[in-house]
């Protein structure tokens, strides 16, 4: 079995002529975050600790649409969301509508561990953050911006892992859809859609949130494994190709047996993975990947 990890930095209509100044910083961040995750797994950190650690690092990168790099609403404001789930216990935590929290994924974990609830949003989530953490900073309201090209709307981040003890976990974080309506909530914080883990697999999805919600992407991968006996790869492929419209979804997933899959029906997906068996991959488009 052994440990395994996979992470993503968003799926969508990523042009193959993406300028180096936009491509290379993202690839470098994925590579660095993969190395951080691998080192933590080798140090026998829990899968839950690893996925939080990796997603925090991705949130701190301005090149992805999460945390520091979050996109703006139609009012020029930031509304971040995130969720985390432990496969062994099915404990989970989620947050939405955050404007001042530097690392939403850590607040989601605090919701899971410090409250009787699963999901806190907007003013309630911000109030809870002020009670629990001291790494908040104000984000000033920015002027309204014009719609950006589809290729720029990439960047939701996520990580899945299985640790040396066989525990599975997943974490996902995003700034949401570019120019979204104020108050819009996507798939990322909704357990069973953009984020899901049980004793069979851990899944983190990315793409167009409304499509991912309709397809219940995360839970359907697990359900196909549980009820149909499909492998992780086959289950993920079925959900991505048959359950969601083309061009709307990507996901990374790991199984309890150490399988890893990174499936998408978009032009590309920023992604990376590694296993204890020695496999390592980093890529964007289907025609290329490199160690």
Alpha-carbon distance of 167 to 159, in angstroms, equals 14
Q: Which residues have C-beta within 8 Å of that of residue 172, sequence separation ≥ 6?
A: 55, 82, 83, 84, 105, 156, 157, 158, 188, 194, 195, 204, 205, 206
Q: Which residues have C-beta within 8 Å of that of residue 204, sequence separation ≥ 6?
A: 7, 8, 158, 159, 160, 170, 171, 172, 194, 195, 218, 251, 252, 253
Which residues are bridge partners to 177 per DSSP? none
Catalytic residue of the set 29, 99, 156, 261: 156
Two structure tokens written together for 177: 């859809």
- CA terminus-to-terminus distance, the chain: 21
Two structure tokens written together for 194: 């953009």
* Polymer length of the chain: 291
- Whether 102 and 136 have beta carbons less than 8 Å apart is answered as yes
Alpha-carbon distance of 288 to 272, in angstroms, equals 12
User: Is residue 136 flagged as an active site residue?
Assistant: no
Residue 242 φ/ψ, nearest 5 degrees: -110, -25
CA angle 262, 247, 8 (to 5 degrees): 30
Two structure tokens written together for 211: 């499509």
Alpha-carbon distance of 251 to 205, in angstroms, equals 4
Two structure tokens written together for 217: 């992407």
Annotated catalytic residues are 156
């Amino acid at each position: 079995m052994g440990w395994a990890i996979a992470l993503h930095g968003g799926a969508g209509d990523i042009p193959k002529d993406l300028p180096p100044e936009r491509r290379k910083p993202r690839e470098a961040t994925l590579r660095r975050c993969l190395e951080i995750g691998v080192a933590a797994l080798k140090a026998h950190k829990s899968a839950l600790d690893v996925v939080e650690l990796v997603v925090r690092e991705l949130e701190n990168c301005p090149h992805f649409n999460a945390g520091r790099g979050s996109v703006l609403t139609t009012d020029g404001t930031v509304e971040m969301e995130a969720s985390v789930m432990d496969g062994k216990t099915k404990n989970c935590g989620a947050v939405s509508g955050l404007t001042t929290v530097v690392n939403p994924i850590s607040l989601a974990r605090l919701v899971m561990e410090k409250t009787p609830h699963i999901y806190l949003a907007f003013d309630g989530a911000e109030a809870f953050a002020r009670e629990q953490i001291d790494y908040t900073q104000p984000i000033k309201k920015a002027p309204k911006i014009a719609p950006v090209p589809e290729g720029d709307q990439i960047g939701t981040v996520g990580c899945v892992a299985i640790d040396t003890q066989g525990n599975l976990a997943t974490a996902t974080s995003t700034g949401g859809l570019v120019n979204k309506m104020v108050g819009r909530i996507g798939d990322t914080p909704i357990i069973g859609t953009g984020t899901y883990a049980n004793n069979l697999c851990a899944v983190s999805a990315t793409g167009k949130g409304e499509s991912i919600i309709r397809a219940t992407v995360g839970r359907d991968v697990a359900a196909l494994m549980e009820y149909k006996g499909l492998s992780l790869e086959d289950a993920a492929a079925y959900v991505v190709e048959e359950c969601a419209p083309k061009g709307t979804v990507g996901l990374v997933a790991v199984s309890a047996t150490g399988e890893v899959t990174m499936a998408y029906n978009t032009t590309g997906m920023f992604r990376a993975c590694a296993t204890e068996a020695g496999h390592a991959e980093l890529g964007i488009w289907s025609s290329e990947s490199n160690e």
